[in-house]
Amino acid sequence: MSDYAVIKGTSYILAHTPDMILHNGTTQTMERLASPQSEYLKQIPNYLRSFDEVLSYPPNQVYVGNNKPEELHKYEKPWFDKKIEAASRYGWFGEIMPQDEFLALIKMVDVFDLVLLEKSFTNVAKKKINNHPMMTSNLKSRLKDGEDIAVIEKFIKEQQAEALYHDSKLVGCVKRAHEIDVNLNAHVIHENLISKASGVLAFLNLISKNDIDVDSIDYVIECSEEACGDMNQRGGGNFAKAIAEMGGAVNATGSDIRAFCAAPVHALITASALVKSGTFKNVVIVAGSAVAKLGMNGKDHVKKGIPILEDVLGGFAVLISENDGVNPVVRTDLVGSHKVGTGSSPQAVMTSLIADPLDKGGLKITDVDKYSVEMQNPDITKPAGAGDVPESNYKMIAALGVKRKELERKDIATFAKEHGMPGWAPTQGHIPSGVPYIGHAREALLNGDIERTMVVGKGSLFLARMTNQFDGVSVIIEKNIVGADEKATGISEDEVKKMIAEAMRNFASHLLEG
C-alpha cells in the first residue's frame, strides 16, 4: 500500500449569485428569447433567497464542511424551509461567498481587461476583498479603480457586452474578446471567467485550509464542464494553468480533463496514477462552476411555490500527493469503468462501476462503508420530477448486492442509510457526481469512523451530440494502513527493505564462499 497516492487536502466553495439566475442561467435566458413577457420571468424576484438564507440552508453547510452529511437525517424533508442557526460563511472545507465579492473576484482573475466594474461598487467590494483571509496580496492588487457607469452602458449597447448586476442594479460588464469570433463573444468570456474565478476560489481555500506549500504543487488538472478557446480550437483549454497562475502555484503546469459529470472522478484517478507512477509528486484537481445551470429547474420550483434553490455556483479542489503513511489512499488498482461495450441498462452500469472494482479486490458490496454516488440535493430534483437521485442509486447498488447474494432483499430498505447519505450538492453538473463526499470521507477515514469508501462518477455523453454512449468511472478510497503497520511493528518499510537487502547480500556471500 505504500506506493498508492493519498488525498492530502480538500476544499469546497459556493458563490451566491441570485442576479445571475435571471440574466445568465440558461433556463431564464432561453425563456427571455422565447417569451420575453413570460409570467415566470416576472415572478423570479419573488423567489430569490437572501445571502443569510443561503448560509443557513442545511445542505450548503454540509457542502462547505461545517456539518456532516448524516446530520441531514435530523431534518424532515424538504429542507428549504429549515435552517441552521448561527451558520458560518466559512467552513472546514471552504466558504460561501456573497455575490458582490464574487463579481470583484471575476475582475481580479481577468488578465485581458475584459471586465469593467462601476466605481462606487468597486470601492465597496475592494474593502471586503481586502479583509478576505485567503486573498493573496497579488490578487488584491489586481482590483483597480472602477469605471463610470456611462462607459459600461456604452459597451453593453454598442458592443454586446454581457451585463453584470448586483441587487438588480447594473454594476459592470464583461466585454467581448473578438469582434467576430463567436467563441470569444461576451457571453462565452463571461461563462469562462466565472468558471475560472470559482476554480481559483476553491484553489485558494485548498491551500489555506490545509496549510499547503503552494510551491510544492507541480501539476493541476481542471475538470469542470466548461470549454475555452477560440474559432480554431474551441475547448482547447487551459483552465488548469490559468487557475494555477492566479493561485500562485509558480512551479505547476497542468491540463484540463473533460467528461461531462464524470470528469472529476476521471481526474481523481488520473491524478492518483500520475503520483503513484512518480511522474508528479503533488497534483491538484480543481473544478470551477457552470453559470448556465443557475435556475435550471427554476420553473418547477416557482410552480410549486418554493424558492429557486439553484442560486449558487459550486467549486472544489483536492490535493493528491505521495503516500505519507497517514492520509487515505486512492486504490488505483480497484477502478471501475463503463466501457464502450458495456451497454446502458442499469444492471450493466452498476456491474461495471460497482461490482467490477469490488471483485478485483475480493470485496463484497457490504465491505464498502459509504458509497458516494450522484449526490444531488433532492430539494432541487424532486420538485422537477427527477426524484431522489442518490436514493435511486443506492437502491440499485442494494439490488446488485441481493443478486450477488451479499444482501437480503429486506436490506434494500435500509441500505441507503447504512451505506449511503442524503444528497446535498448543488446541480452544477460535474459537482454532485461522487466528489462532494471526498472531504468528509477523508475526515472519516482519518478518524477511523469508516475503513473504505467508493466514489462513483457518471455522465451523459449524448449532450454533445457526438455519441449516445453513457459514461462512468469509480474508484475505492481506503484508510491508510502503512503508518499503522509501522507503528505496530516498530519497523518502517524502508527499514524492512534494508533488512531484506542485507539478508540477500549475506546469502550471496555465503554462496560465493561455498
Tens digit of each residue's pLDDT (9 = 90 or more) over 15-50: 999 999 999 999 999 999 999 999 999 999 999 999
Q: Give the Cα separation of 335 and 448 in Å (integer).
A: 23
pLDDT at 473 > cutoff 50: yes
What's the confidence (pLDDT) of residue 429? 87
- pLDDT at residue 346 in the model: 87
Residue 344: what pLDDT?
A: 87
Domain 6-480 belongs to what topology? Peroxisomal Thiolase; Chain A, domain 1 (3.40.47)
User: Is the confidence at residue 282, as pLDDT, over 90?
Assistant: yes
Q: Please give the angle made by the CA atoms of 339, 342 and 348, to the nearest 5 degrees.
A: 125
Amino acid 393 reads: N
Please determine, for residue 513, whether its predicted confidence score (pLDDT) is greater than 90. no
SS (H, E, C) 143-185: CCCCECHHHHHHHHHHHCCEEEEECCEEEEEECCCCCCCHHHC
Query: What mean pLDDT do residues 409-415 have?
Result: 96
The full set of domain ranges for the chain reads 6-480
pLDDT of residue 66 exceeding 80, the answer is yes
Q: Is 148 exposed, middle or buried (0-12, 13-18, 19+ CB in 10 A)?
A: exposed
pTM: 0.93
- pLDDT of 348-373, one tens digit each? 999 999 999 999 999 999 999 999 99
Q: Which phi and psi (to 5°) does residue 486 adopt?
A: -65, -40
Q: Which of 325, 329, 296, 333 is nearest to 312 (CA)?
A: 296
Which cell is 90 given? 466559512
pLDDT band at 2 (very low <50, low <70, confident <90, very high): confident
Which pLDDT value is given to residue 263? 97
Q: What does the pLDDT read at residue 511?
A: 42
Strands (E) in 192-258, as ranges, are 219-222, 253-256
Split at pLDDT 50, 70, 90, the class of 1 is low
The residues facing 476 across adjacent strands are 331, 454
Mean pLDDT across the stretch 142-159? 97
Angle at 437 between CA 295 and CA 418, to 5 degrees: 110
On whether the CB atoms of residues 93 and 65 are closer than 8 A, the answer is yes
User: pLDDT (tens digit, 9 = 90+) per residue, 240-280?
Assistant: 999 999 999 999 999 999 999 999 999 999 999 999 999 99
Beta-carbon contacts of residue 463 (< 8 Å; ≥ 6 apart): 260
Write down the pLDDT at residue 492: 53
CB 339 within 8 A of CB 425: no
CA-to-CA separations, 41 to 23, 245, 486, in angstroms, rounded: 10, 39, 63
Q: Cis bond leading into 69, ω under 30°?
A: no
Average per-residue pLDDT for the chain: 94
Bridge partner residues of 95 (DSSP):
13, 90
Residue 396 CB neighbours (<10 A): 17
pLDDT recorded at residue 500: 52
CB 202 within 8 A of CB 102: no
CA separation, residue 307 to residues 77, 190, 334, 429 (Å): 15, 25, 41, 20
Over residues 104-126, mean pLDDT: 98
- Identify the pLDDT of residue 482: 76
In this prediction, what percent of the chain has a pLDDT beyond 70? 94
The C-alpha cell of 360 is what?
Answer: 478485483
What is the per-residue pLDDT for 374? 95
Tell me the pairing of strands 282-287 and 312-321. Answer: antiparallel
pLDDT (tens digit, 9 = 90+) per residue, 72-111? 999 999 999 999 999 999 999 999 999 999 999 999 999 9
Band of the pLDDT at 490, cuts 50, 70, 90? very low
